[in-house]
Amino acid sequence: MKIIYLSQLFELDNEFGSDRNYFNCKKLKESGHHVTVITSNISYETSLPKFKTKWFKPIKIMHNGIDIYYVYSPKNFIGNYFKRVLYYISYFIFSFLLKKPTENADIVYAISSPLSVALLGLLLSKRLKAKFYLEITDLWPDVFVTMEYLKNKFVLSLLRKIELSCYQRAKYIIALSRGIQKNIQSKTQQKEKVVLIPNGVDKELFSLKNNILTEAKHLKKKLNLEGKFVCLYLGAHSLYNALNTIIEAANLIKENSEIIFVLIGDGDKKAELKKLAKNYHLNNILFFSPIPRIETPVWLKIADIFLLPNLKGEFYKMNLQNKFFDYLASAKPIIFAGSGESAEIILEANGGKVVKAEDAKAMVNAILELKSYPLNERVKIGKNGRSYVLTHYERNMLSLKLINLIKNGLDN
């Protein structure tokens, strides 16, 4: 069967960010399906082009048997609202205009957010007379309402209609968390077609082989972090990630020379975060650029603990981010600032500490508590988390669930 896979963000295993979409496409290909990916030519982490493309001439590559088309999008949209909108619109238009790559499609599989990709999937599935599968990674327009980005009632009403139309048209809706699943089920009468397939961990990538441990030891020495208690965050630097909590915690604890904070990644708020750290005259925090996915296990192993801050509010309780599973697989304790599903998993796995969202003092107290533990106790906590995530959220198991869902949709 031919599957058109629509994802504005599509990172390969040797690129930045999450390779969840690539992993799923690889497994679909291995199960006998022909997979054609249509994605943006821009890396979301850097907002820079991956290839040199022209407006109506996408770049095509083949990676492990998967056809990937990169369509034109404007670059350097980080911190620029107008360019970000153009980034969404250009992907929508140039993807919809592709004719030959989409011929004879049996399934159109769209990843939303943004909501524009869901609409693209709906329209393309109608044009191709193909079945429509919709994966929801973030709830649009709910997120705009929650963050008070959208107050225009007409625009909100229009987005709601698009959202509900996509839900109604979809053969199946894949939700990445129980909270997202429940939210969608409250908006549609066809509750049975909303299926939970969360993010997970690539067991092979996070094998924790001896070479990874050796490389991590060398990296820690290279970064002059030997003898330091490393509190690490790896991921996007946006408002959604509440990283100001980490900066405030670093400020509260800056007199303790043994503790250092390491932030790896990029995003709209990175410049602002660096400025805040500078204003506080912090010498205990290091910022690093995004790293290729394949290097993630080594960088995560330099940490003593991981930090995962969240924003306050009911909406953010449903977060189950990619980085969360990578943290667990790396076998180090996690401090999660927030509540909801991530907190529940940490507590059930006994894989770390849970504190209130946006509470820097509580984060500091948790850091000091974990630092005071004997090393063997922290190792035990880390192993608890790793064992739990490999048992319940291993990617091969989750991708098999997706493959069966595809098969079920084709048979019915």
Question: Which tens digits make up the pLDDT trace of 185-210?
Answer: 999 888 899 999 999 999 888 887 76
Distance in angstroms (rounded) separating the CA atoms of residues 239 and 250: 18
Judged against a pLDDT cut of 90, whether residue 69 lies above it is answered with yes
Judged against a pLDDT cut of 90, whether residue 303 lies above it is answered with yes
The pLDDT of residue 113 is 83
Residue type at position 50: K
Q: Where are the domains of the chain?
A: 2-200+394-411, 210-392
Q: What is the CA radius of gyration of the chain?
A: 21
The pLDDT of residue 364 is 98
Judged against a pLDDT cut of 90, whether residue 135 lies above it is answered with yes
Tokens linked to 112: 């939303």
287-302 pLDDT tens trace: 999 898 889 999 999 9
If DSSP codes are grouped into helix, strand and coil, which group holds residue 87? helix
Judged against a pLDDT cut of 70, whether residue 148 lies above it is answered with no
Half-sphere exposure of 168 toward its Cβ, with a 13 Å CA cutoff? 7
Rounded (10°) angle between helices 115-128 and 153-169: 40
Q: What is the percentage of the chain residues whose pLDDT exceeds 90?
A: 69
Tokens linked to 208: 């924790």
**Per-residue pLDDT band at 56 (split at 50, 70, 90):** confident
342-395 pLDDT tens trace: 999 999 999 999 999 999 999 999 999 999 999 999 999 999 999 999 999 999
What is the rounded average pLDDT of the residues 91-113?
93
Distance in angstroms (rounded) separating the CA atoms of residues 177 and 182: 9
In CATH terms, the superfamily for domain 210-392 is Glycogen Phosphorylase B; (3.40.50.2000)
The pLDDT mean for the chain works out to 91
| List of residues 6+ apart from 75 with CB closer than 8 A | 42, 47, 48, 49
The pLDDT of residue 209 is 74
In Å, how far are 62, 73, 88 from 69, measured between CA atoms?
Answer: 9, 12, 16
Judged against a pLDDT cut of 80, whether residue 159 lies above it is answered with yes
Q: Quote the pTM value.
A: 0.89
**Per-residue pLDDT band at 211 (split at 50, 70, 90):** confident
Distance in angstroms (rounded) separating the CA atoms of residues 5 and 7: 6
**Per-residue pLDDT band at 412 (split at 50, 70, 90):** low
| List of residues 6+ apart from 172 with CB closer than 8 A | 133, 134, 193, 194, 195, 405, 409
Q: Do domains 2-200+394-411 and 210-392 have the same CATH topology?
A: yes
**Per-residue pLDDT band at 238 (split at 50, 70, 90):** confident
The pLDDT of residue 147 is 64
In CATH terms, the superfamily for domain 2-200+394-411 is Glycogen Phosphorylase B; (3.40.50.2000)
Where is average pLDDT lowest: 50-59, 238-247, 355-364? 50-59
Q: Tell me which DSSP letter residue 243 carries.
A: T
Alpha helices in 70-114 (DSSP H): 81-96
**Per-residue pLDDT band at 79 (split at 50, 70, 90):** low
**Per-residue pLDDT band at 130 (split at 50, 70, 90):** very high
What is the rounded average pLDDT of the residues 310-339?
90
Strand partners, 233: 263
Judged against a pLDDT cut of 70, whether residue 149 lies above it is answered with no
CB 320 within 8 A of CB 196: no
